[in-house]
Amino acid sequence: MNRLYAIVGEDIADSLEKRLGVRPAHLARLEALKNEGRLVLAGPFPAIDSNDPGPAGFSGSLIVAEFASLEAAQAWADADPYIAAGVYAKVTVSPFKRVLP
What element of type H or E holds 42? strand 39-46
CA distance 39 to 34: 5
Confidence at residue 101, expressed as pLDDT on a 0 to 100 scale: 87
What is the SS3 assignment for 14?
coil
Residue 98: name the closest of 45, 40, 42 by CA: 40
Confidence at residue 54, expressed as pLDDT on a 0 to 100 scale: 95
Confidence at residue 1, expressed as pLDDT on a 0 to 100 scale: 80
Tell me the CA distances in angstroms from 50 to 9, 25, 40, one per residue in order.
19, 24, 23
Q: Mean pLDDT per segment of 10 residues, for the chain of length 101 residues?
A: 95 96 98 98 97 96 98 98 97 97 87
